[in-house]
Amino acid sequence: MFGLVDCNNFYASCERVFNPNLRDKPVVILSNNDGCVIARSNEAKALGIPMGAPTYKFEKIFKQHNIQVFSSNYALYGDMSSRVMNILSNFTPDVEIYSIDESFLEFSGFGNYNMQAYCEKIKYVVEKGTGIPISIGLAPTKALSKVANRIAKKFPEQTKGVFIMKDDAARIKALKWLKIEDVWGIGRQHALRLKKHNIHTAYAFSELPDEWVRKQMSVVGLRLKNELQGRRTLELETPAHKKAIATTRSFDKQYKEFDYIQERVSSFAIKSAEKLRRQGSCCQMIYVFLKTNKFRQDLPQYQNSIVVQTGYPTNSSIDLIKFAVEGLKKIYHPDYYYKKAGVIVMGLVPEDQRQLAFFTAENPKHKQLMQKIDRLNGAYGTGAVRFGSQDLGKVWKMRREHLSQAYTTNLGSIIEVNVGDENKS
DNA sequence: TCTGGGGTCCTATGCCTT
DNA sequence: TCTGAAGGCATAGGACCC
């Protein structure tokens, strides 16, 4: 049996843990730059706030319905997530952390357990320990456990937040209920095509001929079909090393000047190098991209990207700036207004296993230099040490006008409890 | 004026080597 | 030495996830 544990409205729930006044009130969480809505409480969903809603278009509605608005606070959500995951691992050794708010659990050898009671206990202990409400779905395959979870979440009164797909009759009933666009692995494009072929439910999809699914949706679609029929094709995955690390951002407005964009791309390269060093990896390729604002169709559109081979594995900020700017020069075009750029480092190898290149290699002094820089930045804050290609006078600030505090990771943000006497807190 | 960021996997294509 | 088939690899793009 697979179990899928999903935290309910995770980001909104995190905010509520430390601010109980938010209970039963509509809450939305905004993306970086406060650009759009990326999470909603049930109350906000009921008010018709869609996922991805642009903030500037909905500000009036936020005010009108007294919706509580928060900038995303990843320090808080990341910490709350690891607390939840820690508790889950006490209930079965086989846990795959699938995302910040979801885990697959495998229950093998639990034949004699009353799984309904066991899962209700998991739910109780997680909620008691963290304040985060969860839903649990159990089924014979991963894809079906996603379906079961959806039912648990959708019908909390009947299911108490735990739904177990006991037999084939339950499977068929659930799949007939689930709309095709809500199936895990069916995105917008596939849903559109399937509907054109009169496939509207998960069940109808699961009954399609193998060849058709394979042809239209590749082996991925076929695996999904098998999973929905109850045949296990996906297993619990063990954490693998990352294959790429990305640092990409939208700009606060549109920019044309090369110098500005070069400065941004250099900063992304530095950030990527820091991430590489933190996980003990080096990269062999660096991908740089540049885009105009896709929402401004009235302006000329342009996007381009390039892969630069480094020639040797490196995680030196100095080298990565050099390669990134070299790539940028090849794709930059002076006629456009740019809104977004990014750097992705690829071809990652462990730092201690880098092969020696015959003619080129990272300057051996860089390693020590980077260690010192990382230490200084660690002690005095990111950006304490900057590079020549970064604009020293400029402080890049993300728009985060509705940020809650880092209650769990920053001592200065710790909650104070006042007990009677105002002097004692 | 203002619409996020970070990932994965699969396929098609073209080129090169065997 | 030439030729075609088959396999490996890099790259680009599309689909999906959270």
Q: Give a yes or no: residue A175 inside a domain.
A: yes
Residues A318 and A418: their CA atoms lie apart, in Å, by 50
Residue whose CA is minimally distant from C18 C1': A99
Question: What value does the mean pLDDT of chain A take?
Answer: 91
% of chain A surpassing 90 pLDDT: 76
Q: Give a yes or no: residue A339 inside a domain.
A: yes
What confidence category does residue A393 fall into, taking pLDDT thresholds of 50, 70 and 90?
low
Same domain, A131 and A186: no
* Cα separation of the two ends of chain A: 49
Same domain, A264 and A146: no
What confidence category does residue A241 fall into, taking pLDDT thresholds of 50, 70 and 90?
confident
A414 DSSP assignment = P
Residues A37 and A52: their CA atoms lie apart, in Å, by 5
Residues A255-274 have a mean pLDDT of 94
Same domain, A123 and A250: no
Quick check: A340 and A249 in contact, CB under 8 A? yes
What pLDDT is recorded for position A381? 76
Same domain, A43 and A127: yes
Task: Tokens for A262, please give them.
Answer: 């070069």
A379-391 pLDDT, tens digit each: 887 777 888 777 6
Within 10 angstroms of residue A235's Cβ, the number of other Cβ atoms is 12
Q: Which nucleotide is nearest to A347 (CA to C1')?
A: C10
Q: Report the range of poorest mean pLDDT among A195-209, A213-227, A364-378.
A: A364-378
Location of structure tokens 């098998």: A226
Q: Give a yes or no: residue A63 inside a domain.
A: yes
Same domain, A146 and A192: no
**Residue that finishes a domain, picked among A380, A395, A410:** A380
> CA A365 from chain center: how many Å?
35
Q: Give a yes or no: residue A421 inside a domain.
A: no
What pLDDT is recorded for position A389? 73
Same domain, A160 and A183: no
% of chain A surpassing 70 pLDDT: 95
What pLDDT is recorded for position A424? 44
Residue A279 contacts strand B, CB under 7 A: no
Question: Among A52, A7, A5, A6, which residue's Cα sits nearest to residue A28?
Answer: A52
Residue A206's CATH number: 1.10.150.20
Residue A264 contacts strand B, CB under 7 A: no
**Residue that finishes a domain, picked among A118, A145, A164:** A164
Same domain, A178 and A38: no
A61-91 pLDDT, tens digit each: 999 999 999 999 999 999 999 999 999 999 9
What confidence category does residue A422 fall into, taking pLDDT thresholds of 50, 70 and 90?
very low
Question: How far from A382 is each of A32, A184, A195, A375, A395, CA to CA, in Å?
Answer: 18, 38, 49, 10, 11
Give, in Å, how far the C1' of C13 lies from the CA of A66.
43
Residue type at position A86? N
Same domain, A138 and A58: yes
Around A190, how many Cα atoms within 13 Å sit in the side-chain half-sphere?
Answer: 23
Residues with CB under 7 A from strand C: A 98-102, 146, 183-191, 285, 305-307, 309
What pLDDT is recorded for position A391? 62
**Per-residue pLDDT for A394 more than 70?**
no
Location of structure tokens 């952390």: A97
Structural domain boundaries, residue A214: 168-229
How many domains, chain A? 3
Give, in Å, how far the C1' of B1 lies from the CA of A341.
20
- Beta partners for A297? none
Give, in Å, how far the C1' of C18 lies from the CA of A424.
43
Chain A residues 137 to 196 whose Cβ lies within 7 Å of strand B are: none
A87-112 pLDDT, tens digit each: 999 999 999 999 999 999 999 999 99
What confidence category does residue A271 fall into, taking pLDDT thresholds of 50, 70 and 90?
very high
Same domain, A30 and A140: yes
Strand B nucleotides with an atom less than 7 Å from a protein beta carbon: 1-11
**Per-residue pLDDT for A179 more than 50?**
yes
Residue A361's CATH number: 3.30.1490.100
Same domain, A9 and A42: yes
Residues A316-322 have a mean pLDDT of 95
Residues A182-202 have a mean pLDDT of 96
A36-55 pLDDT, tens digit each: 999 999 999 999 999 999 99
Residues A333 and A11: their CA atoms lie apart, in Å, by 39
Question: Among A206, A212, A241, A208, which residue's Cα sits nearest to residue A224?
Answer: A206
A287 DSSP assignment = E
Question: Secondary structure of chain A: what % helix, strand, coil (to 5)?
Answer: 45, 20, 35
A206-215 pLDDT, tens digit each: 999 999 999 9
CA dihedral in degrees (A117, A95, A231, A120; nearest 10)? 10
Residue type at position A411? L
Taking the whole predicted model, whether its pTM rises above 0.85 is answered as: yes
What pLDDT is recorded for position A328? 93
Q: Give a yes or no: residue A183 inside a domain.
A: yes
Give, in Å, how far the C1' of C14 lies from the CA of A263.
31
Question: Among A136, A105, A93, which residue's Cα sits nearest to residue A1?
Answer: A105
Helix (H) or strand (E) holding A105: strand A102-106
Give, in Å, how far the C1' of B6 lies from the CA of A60.
30
**Per-residue pLDDT for A421 more than 60?**
no
Residue whose CA is minimally distant from B11 C1': A218
What pLDDT is recorded for position A240? 83
Q: Give a yes or no: residue A191 inside a domain.
A: yes
Q: Which nucleotide is nearest to A220 (CA to C1')?
A: B10
Give, in Å, how far the C1' of C15 lies from the CA of A62.
34
Residue A40's CATH number: 3.30.70.270
What pLDDT is recorded for position A231? 96
**Helical ranges in A249-316 per DSSP H:** 258-278
- CA angle, A338 then A342 then A347, to 5°: 150
- Beta partners for A37? A30
Give, in Å, how far the C1' of C18 lies from the CA of A384.
32
Residues A399 and A391: their CA atoms lie apart, in Å, by 19
A109-165 pLDDT, tens digit each: 999 999 999 999 999 999 999 999 999 999 999 999 999 999 999 999 999 999 999
Q: Which nucleotide is nearest to A398 (CA to C1')?
A: B4
Give, in Å, how far the C1' of C17 lies from the CA of A358.
41
Same domain, A15 and A145: yes
**Per-residue pLDDT for A414 more than 70?**
yes
Q: Give a yes or no: residue A386 inside a domain.
A: no
**Residue that finishes a domain, picked among A229, A255, A279:** A229
What pLDDT is recorded for position A359? 58
Q: Give a yes or no: residue A236 inside a domain.
A: no
Same domain, A176 and A157: no
